[in-house]
Amino acid sequence: MTEREELFDTMAQLSQMLLVDETLETTLERIAALASTAIEQCDGVGIALVTNGRTTTVASTGTFVDELEHVQYRTGEGPCLSAVEQEGAVFVASTAEESRWPAFVQAAVHHGVRSALSVPLLAANSTLGALNVYSRTVGGLGNEIKQAAASLFAEHTAVALANAQAFEADRSLGVALQRSLLPHRLPDVAGASLAARYRPAGVRARVGGDWYDAFRLKAPDRLALAVGDVVGHDVHAAVMMGQLRTGLRAYALEGHGPGASLAHLSALFETSQEDVELCFATVCFLVVDLTTGIVTYANAGHPPPLLVGGDGVVRFLDTEPCPALGLAATRIDRSELLRAGDALVLFTDGLIESRRWSLGEGLASLAEAAGEWSGGPEELCDLALERFEVDSGLEDDVAVLAFEWCPAP
């Protein structure tokens, strides 16, 4: 295979690699590693980004690369910074004969680097940074094909960065919309203690439509609790989530029970599919009589609520098998009698689902964590998040709503 054919093959690999859904940091590290092996006589690659006027190295293939680029940032001179400033490639055939950047030359000679090539990362009307290639061979990067390869790697890197920035802007809008549609505060109701948590998914994951709600009903001493999940993409899911939350409130306030409310909500969801991107949604809805402790509930394809007894018994509420919203089905009301000090945990599947364990294992682990509960809904939420290490990285959005029945003596 000729050098040119190898280049084409490498670019094909790079294009496929960029289709993989990974963090931007991982993608840039893989680009740097691939470039260092694909460009002949290349001994190191660094990818530098400009953020708020400051240039930093975000991916590299060796400590000496980091040190060479740190020297440039510290002194404000070198091929990387020149490429960014000039918006054009900068080639150093022999560092020993270069006189423009004394500090960089000294560091390069110290590390045995004899040749360097920096190519700017250009996107639209801005320069995002530079791809920097280093060789321990004098003139090692002067070959036309090597420079073309470096330029192609720079182009692919710029595309990955531009896509990541656009994705993050879209995701931020979705997260902001989603948060604005969630309750700003939970109701303060005699006989009830409430807490909730919401965590958006990791950076590379798309915004979903996980939500929770708690509100008073017109009937005396009735409190409604709901948690739902709209599986979709970005803003579409957040918009649908807002429609479902508002619709469920309306049906419940009209006096419909949980099953009837979900039946109406299912019809609303089905008709709304004509207006937004096709998605999938589940809901669990409960109404608590704060005087008697009777809980009436219905489910539409959602994970069952967890009952945490004040006596230490932990179990999931029985739920009639029922399809998700949008599918014709009879939504059956079921009931449970709480005792003083009992608690309920409602959650979305993002909490318990993972590629590392089965759904059954996730449910069992949540129940085990709840068994450590000593009192209060805040602690229940924290136990759930800590058990699944939610704050260390998420594959999906997570919503948790905890309720404790605290009747007056």
- pLDDT of 30-57, one tens digit each? 889 988 988 889 999 999 999 888 999 9
Q: What is the pLDDT of residue 143?
A: 86
At 281, which helix (H) or strand (E)? strand 280-289
Q: Which of 340, 4, 358, 337 is nearest to 149 (CA)?
A: 4
Instruction: Describe the crossing of helices 144-181 and 24-38 by its angle, rounded to 10 degrees.
Output: 170
What is the sign, positive or negative, of the torsion defined by CA atoms of 368, 373, 376, 378? negative
Q: What is the pLDDT of residue 6?
A: 56
Q: Are 408 and 290 in contact (CB under 8 A)?
A: no
Task: DSSP for 300-356, please give it.
Answer: ESPPPPEEE-TTS-EEEPP------TTS------EEEE--TT-EEEEE-TTTT-BTT
Q: Which residue has the tokens 């949980």?
A: 258
Q: What is the pLDDT of residue 168?
A: 62
Q: Which of 287, 281, 274 is nearest to 346 (CA)?
A: 287
- Residue ranges in the chain whose pLDDT is less than 50: 7-8, 19, 203-206
Please list the alpha-helical segments (H only) found in 118-257. 144-181, 234-253
Please state, as a whole number, how many other Cβ atoms lie within 10 Å of the Cβ of residue 318.
10
Beta strands in 29-136 (DSSP E): 44-51, 54-60, 90-92, 115-123, 126-135
Q: Residues near 351 by Cβ (< 8 Å), separated by ≥ 6? A: 362, 366, 384, 385, 388, 390, 398, 400
Phi first, then psi, for residue 365 (nearest 5°) are -70, -40
Q: What is the pLDDT of residue 104?
A: 96
Supply 180's token pair.
């604005």
182-405: CATH topology: Phosphatase 2c; domain 1 (3.60.40)
Supply 93's token pair.
């055939």
Q: What is the pLDDT of residue 277?
A: 56
Q: How many Cα neighbours within 13 Å face the side chain of 327?
A: 12
Phi first, then psi, for residue 27 (nearest 5°) are -60, -45
Supply 394's token pair.
């998420």
Domain chopping of the chain, boundaries: 3-172, 182-405
- SS3 category, 98: coil
- pLDDT of 216-229, one tens digit each? 998 889 999 999 99
Q: Which residue has the tokens 């790079």?
A: 14
3-172: CATH topology: Beta-Lactamase (3.30.450)
Q: What whole-number distance in Å separates Cα of residue 81 and Cα of residue 338?
A: 67
What is the sign, positive or negative, of the torsion defined by CA atoms of 70, 73, 75, 77? positive
Task: Name the pairing type of β-strands 222-231 and 294-300.
Answer: unpaired
Beta strands in 176-221 (DSSP E): 192-199, 211-216
Q: What whole-number distance in Å separates Cα of residue 6 and Cα of residue 3?
A: 5
Q: Which of 326, 209, 224 is nearest to 266 (CA)?
A: 326
Please list the alpha-helical segments (H only) found in 118-143. none
Supply 383's token pair.
């136990």
The predicted model scores a pTM of 0.62
Q: Which of 191, 193, 198 is nearest to 384 (CA)?
A: 198
